[in-house]
Amino acid sequence: MHASEFERYRQLRREFHRYPEPAWCEFHTTARLVEALEERDPDAIYVGREALASEKRTRVPDESVLEEWTERAREAGADESVLERTAGGHTGCIATFEFGDGPIVGLRVDIDALPVRESDDADHQPAADGFRSTNEGYMHACGHDGHMTIGLGAIDAVMEGDFDGTLIACFQPSEETVAGGEPMAASGRLDDVEYLFALHLGLDHPSGEVVCGIDEFLAVRHLRAEFQGETAHAGASPQQGRNAVQAMAAAVENLYAIPRHAEGKTRVNAGVVGGGTATNVIPEEAFLEGEVRGSTTELADYMYRKAERVVSSAAEMHGCEASMETTGGAPSAESDPELAEVVGEVARAVDGVTAIRDRDDLGGSEDATYLMRHVQERGGLACYVCVGTDHPGAHHSATFDLVEDDLRIAIEVLSGAIERVGRDGVRDVST
Amino acid sequence: MHASEFERYRQLRREFHRYPEPAWCEFHTTARLVEALEERDPDAIYVGREALASEKRTRVPDESVLEEWTERAREAGADESVLERTAGGHTGCIATFEFGDGPIVGLRVDIDALPVRESDDADHQPAADGFRSTNEGYMHACGHDGHMTIGLGAIDAVMEGDFDGTLIACFQPSEETVAGGEPMAASGRLDDVEYLFALHLGLDHPSGEVVCGIDEFLAVRHLRAEFQGETAHAGASPQQGRNAVQAMAAAVENLYAIPRHAEGKTRVNAGVVGGGTATNVIPEEAFLEGEVRGSTTELADYMYRKAERVVSSAAEMHGCEASMETTGGAPSAESDPELAEVVGEVARAVDGVTAIRDRDDLGGSEDATYLMRHVQERGGLACYVCVGTDHPGAHHSATFDLVEDDLRIAIEVLSGAIERVGRDGVRDVST
Amino acid sequence: MHASEFERYRQLRREFHRYPEPAWCEFHTTARLVEALEERDPDAIYVGREALASEKRTRVPDESVLEEWTERAREAGADESVLERTAGGHTGCIATFEFGDGPIVGLRVDIDALPVRESDDADHQPAADGFRSTNEGYMHACGHDGHMTIGLGAIDAVMEGDFDGTLIACFQPSEETVAGGEPMAASGRLDDVEYLFALHLGLDHPSGEVVCGIDEFLAVRHLRAEFQGETAHAGASPQQGRNAVQAMAAAVENLYAIPRHAEGKTRVNAGVVGGGTATNVIPEEAFLEGEVRGSTTELADYMYRKAERVVSSAAEMHGCEASMETTGGAPSAESDPELAEVVGEVARAVDGVTAIRDRDDLGGSEDATYLMRHVQERGGLACYVCVGTDHPGAHHSATFDLVEDDLRIAIEVLSGAIERVGRDGVRDVST
Amino acid sequence: MHASEFERYRQLRREFHRYPEPAWCEFHTTARLVEALEERDPDAIYVGREALASEKRTRVPDESVLEEWTERAREAGADESVLERTAGGHTGCIATFEFGDGPIVGLRVDIDALPVRESDDADHQPAADGFRSTNEGYMHACGHDGHMTIGLGAIDAVMEGDFDGTLIACFQPSEETVAGGEPMAASGRLDDVEYLFALHLGLDHPSGEVVCGIDEFLAVRHLRAEFQGETAHAGASPQQGRNAVQAMAAAVENLYAIPRHAEGKTRVNAGVVGGGTATNVIPEEAFLEGEVRGSTTELADYMYRKAERVVSSAAEMHGCEASMETTGGAPSAESDPELAEVVGEVARAVDGVTAIRDRDDLGGSEDATYLMRHVQERGGLACYVCVGTDHPGAHHSATFDLVEDDLRIAIEVLSGAIERVGRDGVRDVST
């Protein structure tokens, strides 16, 4: 890749970085992607409802939040026609590029950001170089700004190459809430995909390292618990209250104390909590939003059942009622080794790649697994590739950042793999 | 009181009830009071900054909240000139009526409402009779709608009587947050008051009962604790987080468990809590707003010191930092028995009064104590009167309500007592 | 009282102090009391079962504990015939002295000690003067050593005076566990008592002060909760356990956090807890012994019901079963003011008495209330007297001690009051 | 193996099962082992101090406990000379059998039992067949009764075979507390061992399955925390106490809630807790004995550091002091694949073996790792073999049991492997 071409991608990434939007609110981001895709003259472009099974969406924010982000996007110059197509939190898009009769290959990247306030330390490059988040309190702290750039770059590279199949590029919303994968998988747009690639930057792998196929996606279930008690005057009649905040606190303390499980990884987090209305009123209501995970669906279910027990008995302890519901999640999945082998072969020839690992655990969750399973269940192959990058802060932290040259590596690995399976398919590695 | 006159007060009370506003946001309420006072042609009327030592205010909401309530008041028809005078959360007013050279008598009522969602049960009279709160989520759940009505009614009654002193009627904001008493006491408007009456309806005393002088106001200190941890990906690297929500929950659990004290009443409440940003992020920040109380200032301080210890060690336990600050409070106070005796004598002659109690404990806190102490420290006398009313729900609960006829009793008792001290002063009861 | 006579009581008190025994294990103490009483030639002496309704006893230690203390008493020289009569934890005794046809007057003192390790600081007089506890881990930390001495001294004084009624002196066991009062009340020995005096030293009243009648004994209920879970290997299969210690800990945390009650004092304590068998085994069993109190029986019941809820939901939270039972308690009681007035009149003439208070709250619990109520329900009068003493450490602490000269004051006040009611009865103070 | 020979081992195992003794108290067990070993005419037999570096022992019970178990062993007929040699808790023994100039091969089995009350259900074979524990409250709930039997059986089999090296049979005490491995390793008796075998039955592997080399022993650290507060009367002055039980409970709740770690397994257990002295005394002292584990030493250390923080801040929260110390532990270790391969080859030929696995994780901890590392650091090879058995209850549970025929499999596999390395050594598998 020429330096000038790379510079284009660097600027594109910084533009995305400057404008992070949370799940189902990627209005400006989708508009910018549609603009970029249209420049590349796709055979079709599906936006919003056309790229999503709307009824499969979960954890969609309140209308007022959607409106606020829409308005903000509008003020930032988002195309009005895209805002119409994404109305009501129908973000994301899919573009198809037909080159010939060869195989149908999918590429999936994710586009949403996190509610993390970005560091303004001078050590943090986006702050130093002036492309820090302009949506204060939100941040591309997981590299999706890079992923979108790679998606567009891979389209460019494939267009310049000799691929003669169909490329379906999926820009999936709401990965951070694992809420966007299922509706996109159910949209029908990927039904004929033969080979699907998904990718992630970083994940504690250093610059120069490529992991050809990621395994052990943690199964995850989101949950929301609500505690209902009864108010009373905190000074005059504390005994008449039924304290929902006390119940919630007892639940938090004991959720983290659910026994570890010998059969694999488990996780639990009470990520957002709140409750009460005034200092002198015994709190009547409280809530807790969190998640449980496991290295298998069974382990995630074990955690979920335990969490239900903790929530209901914490409420009971303080005379409150509790309800708890799951608000989405994602299954586990496996990368197909045949496809990972192709990635490895391609990566070996890419400039800057210094280490290749066949497989590794993700350690987290991803709703790319919905798309992978959708393709795999129809007889296709799927592979989740990790391209390493030296990131100073951890994923989801305020100082997360990328080495921008690694975007080039990712573009070359992915476009190369797409071209290779288009030309040669895969070898059978099962024997 | 004629039935028609009473009907006027009943409608006035319902009008106030329909429009509850929280502390420092009583914009519409103040405007309505100013309108009502001006109808009564006072010698002076002090609004907002004129009735408050602005710098003594605590717990003033954010500018955006103030603006939202101002706008709401404007839309509901509040007088623009009053909105200007109350700008920035300078609510409440004081009116003076000079009748002659007699003593200066103060009357203090409070005007704010609570963040409680009012019941819409058919059993709840305001719901049944159509004067339920129109500011959803807020409610006059402590009778201040009645207090304002009584304040205006007492002015009317005094005007019709033969009182020849000066009446200073104080409509104090922000009692629920015990934030309005200190700035009003420091305004200078009460410096020359010789006799001060304050009042409360209900307090678990039945209709027909009058408590001449309330004692044992609980001393109270408000507090706000903030917990600062560190985010991390809840699935991929939970061990890298420092969990502020876990710290807050440990604090809540242990705050309520501060040892009871043998020397008197103590109270603690974690009234509003929150924390975290996303289900899959270890929470970096959490907060807790609450209060401690004691039947003496020493006991409130005991609770505060223990709360500090709980907060700091809960943070330490989870590797977080914590800060805690006090955000206001109120001292204790005593009703002067000489003045209470006057109230008792007057009440004995009021129609509908079936039981008279010399004294009782409040059991809660009140920043009327600032005004009472201010007057008492200058050689005046102060008395806090309770006029009973059968209230179906507890104070601060969603089904709190008044027996409206008791407004009449309160008006007659207070105006009678004002007239009596104007005419006769008090007897010396200390011997 | 002559110095030589006083010296005798001082030595007696020190002898009792040196040999503390816990509830239902006062074998040596009872033997020593029987010996002392027999020296005084009573008309009757009832030991053990003769002074107790055996079936009303609660919280009797295991047979092995009883045997251990019996054996220890035997080795310390306790009279074998008394050991026989107190077998199975039937400790304490009642002696009657008939002087004439006058009224029947009861005197009740308590005899048990506490499981507190006595201080061996040089500042602690019993340590400095060589009469520190010889039963390591147990201590007369509540003054019952003094109470027994006063009981014997009062008998001596009454014998020397002109009392012409009957004196029934009750040496009650197991006051600290509030387990001895009910069986002694139900023994029948106090059925005809017309005037009953009980007493306590100290209670934070200084030397020279006498409180004529104590009120507000806190009602108390003891409780024992057991948690049953399931063991598992803590390393290999933590998820298979149901952790009884975790359940107990959750219960402890939340027991102390039961809401305070506006109607009066409440107390809770998890006084003894334990659980588990080995570091590498998930604990299957745990227990919690504690108590709740209230300034009325209703408040104690409120606390008990809340405690039941906490225990059962803490168990449920960790998949355990819990059982909770009450193991005794004591009601509240009031001192009769007529009798207290007699005490006051007598005390006024006692050398060394510098302050007399009519009444005061106890602030704690006492099963003397069973005897008081027993007498009161039969038409008699009862009064609980407090004789102040400067005690360096708090009651129940390792440095509790008495000013020994105050024993004399107590002997003179009580014997004087017994003689006075024997001669003059009481005045009617109800009008 | 003939049925009659097997029957002998079956009876031996049941004899061991009937007499479980906890760590450092295996007095009777050691005596029985010495008797059995002497029947086999060893070249040397080292008992107690001769087989242990006494100063390396940890977690030795109090003298009174040691004496109680010694006395019990004496009454059950233990040989007096062995009781002398094991005095003070120096249990266990090592026997050496020299057959020729071949390699020195070690065999290590463990001998202690657990503080678990054995099931008396009719379904539990030891109860049904009359060999249930006679030391009530203690149980061979981890198969060490079988291990000892296998150790003796393997000696017999080697004696009957053509092994021409030296066999050093180690009967190690105190494995359950991971306290016996280090002192036995440091005894010097294993310094020249070239090949070391250790074994375990069960571990959730079914009858017929052999795992040739166990890996991933969890590193473990035991801990004991003590909480020191201050007593006070729970009714009269609760505010004067500093509650050690409350501190301990807060620690327990938060210990289990230490964040999981992405880099591997972690474990925590508060296995034994206790505190307080009386229901009406605020508890002054409490303790907590537990353990932390990790799949690496670093992870165990992570847990230990977090536990220290939890303990100290829980104490601080309730105004108490805390101390925490480690009371032993065990490192991780790896089985040498060369030696595991020998086990696999031998096992393949053993009757009843239906499945062979090269390696598996232990999932728990074992202080055999001290002996393995001792041998490996001196250039020898070590291998930890698991012989499966269908066990109805989990390890450490009240219904744990063995399939006795699997003892034969274990004897044949181990004696076969000893003979094989004696004859052929191992192949180099590193290339």
pLDDT value of position C364: 78
Coil, strand or helix at C5: helix
User: Are D259 and B236 a contacting pair at CB < 8 A?
Assistant: no
User: Are C246 and A257 a contacting pair at CB < 8 A?
Assistant: yes
Q: What angle do CA A423, A424, A429 make, to 5 degrees?
A: 155
Nearest to B250 by CA among B199, B311, B190, B168: B311
The DSSP output letter for D390 is -
State pLDDT tens for residues B12-71.
999 999 999 999 999 999 999 999 999 999 999 999 999 999 999 999 999 999 999 999
State pLDDT tens for residues A135-155.
999 999 999 999 999 999 999
In terms of CA atoms, which chain C residue is nearest residue D230? C397
What span, in angstroms and rounded, lies between the C-alpha atoms of A123 and A372? 38
* DSSP H or E segment with residue B268: strand B266-275
What amino acid occupies position B153?
A: G
pLDDT at C429 over 70: no
- Selected residue of C252, C268, C285, C367 to mutate for chain D interface (largest D Cβ count, 10 A): C252
- D309 min Cα distance to partner chain C (Å): 18
- Is B200 annotated to bind a ligand? Reply is yes
* DSSP H or E segment with residue B126: helix B125-128
What span, in angstroms and rounded, lies between the C-alpha atoms of B375 and B198? 12
Chain B residues within 8 Å of chain C (Cβ atoms): 253-254, 256-257, 259-260, 262, 265-267, 363
How many residue pairs from chains B and C have C-beta atoms closer than 8 A? 22
Chain A contact partners (≥3 CB pairs within 8 A): B, C, D
Here the ipTM equals 0.75
Nearest to A246 by CA among C31, B222, C310, D213: C310
pLDDT value of position C430: 46
Q: Assign 3-class secondary structure to C208-254.
A: CEEEEEEECCCEEEEEEEEEECECCECCCCHHHCECHHHHHHHHHHH
Nearest to B30 by CA among B154, B132, B155, B180: B180
What is the band of A429 on the pLDDT scale with cuts at 50, 70, 90?
A: low
Chain A residues within 8 Å of chain C (Cβ atoms): 236-239, 241, 243, 246, 250, 253-254, 257, 259-263, 282, 302, 309-310, 312-314, 316-319
pLDDT value of position B430: 46
What span, in angstroms and rounded, lies between the C-alpha atoms of C46 and D241? 39
State pLDDT tens for residues A250-287.
999 999 999 999 999 999 999 999 999 989 899 999 99
- D208 min Cα distance to partner chain C (Å): 21
pTM of the entire predicted model:
0.79
Structure tokens at D346: 């031998």
- Selected residue of B218, B252, B256 to mutate for chain C interface (largest C Cβ count, 10 A): B256
State pLDDT tens for residues B62-100.
999 999 999 999 999 999 999 999 999 999 999 999 999
Mean pLDDT of C108-123: 96
- A294 min Cα distance to partner chain B (Å): 9
What percentage of chain A has pLDDT greater than the value 90?
88
Coil, strand or helix at A400: coil
Structure tokens at C205: 């009243």
User: Are A317 and C309 a contacting pair at CB < 8 A?
Assistant: yes
Residues 6+ apart with CB under 8 A from B242: B229, B230, B282, B284, B318, B319, B320
In terms of CA atoms, which chain D residue is nearest residue A362? D262
What percentage of chain A has pLDDT greater than the value 70?
99
pLDDT, greater one: C397 or A169: A169
- Is A396 annotated to bind a ligand? Reply is yes
pLDDT value of position A215: 86
Chain-centre distance for alpha carbon B200 = 10
Q: Assign 3-class secondary structure to C41-59.
A: CCCEEEEHHHHCCHHHCCC
Mean pLDDT of C244-269: 96
State pLDDT tens for residues A388-416.
999 999 898 999 999 999 999 999 999 99
Closest by Cβ to C316, choosing from A257, A302, A313: A313
In terms of CA atoms, which chain B residue is nearest residue C269? B259
What span, in angstroms and rounded, lies between the C-alpha atoms of B231 and B130? 49
E strands of B139-243, at which residues? 166-172, 195-201, 209-215, 219-228
Q: Are residues A210 and A414 in contact, defined by beta-carbon separation less than 8 angstroms?
A: no
Q: Are residues C425 and C416 in contact, defined by beta-carbon separation less than 8 angstroms?
A: no
User: Are D257 and A257 a contacting pair at CB < 8 A?
Assistant: yes
CB atoms within 10 A of CB B427: 11
Closest by Cβ to C238, choosing from A262, A316, A317: A262
Nearest to A86 by CA among A68, A66, A101, A112: A66
In order of start, what are the domains of chain D with their CATH numbers?
3-216+331-424 (3.40.630.10), 219-329 (3.30.70.360)
In terms of CA atoms, which chain D residue is nearest residue A250? D253
Q: In what order do the strands lie in the sheet with C104-110?
A: C44-47, C93-98, C166-172, C104-110, C195-201, C381-387, C209-215, C355-361
Closest by Cβ to D257, choosing from B239, B246, B314: B246
What is the band of B362 on the pLDDT scale with cuts at 50, 70, 90?
A: confident
pLDDT at B388 over 50: yes
User: Are D253 and C250 a contacting pair at CB < 8 A?
Assistant: yes
What span, in angstroms and rounded, lies between the C-alpha atoms of D231 and C242? 32
User: Are A265 and D260 a contacting pair at CB < 8 A?
Assistant: yes
User: Are B260 and C254 a contacting pair at CB < 8 A?
Assistant: no
Coil, strand or helix at C139: strand
Task: Specify binding-site residues of D for Mn(2+).
Answer: 142, 144, 176, 200, 396
The structure tokens 């106001």 sit at B217
Name the stretches of chain D with pLDDT < 70.
Answer: 428-431
pLDDT value of position C431: 42
pLDDT value of position C53: 97
pLDDT, greater one: B331 or B202: B202
pLDDT value of position C30: 98
State pLDDT tens for residues B227-283.
999 999 898 889 999 999 999 999 999 999 999 999 999 999 999 999 999 898 999
pLDDT value of position D428: 62
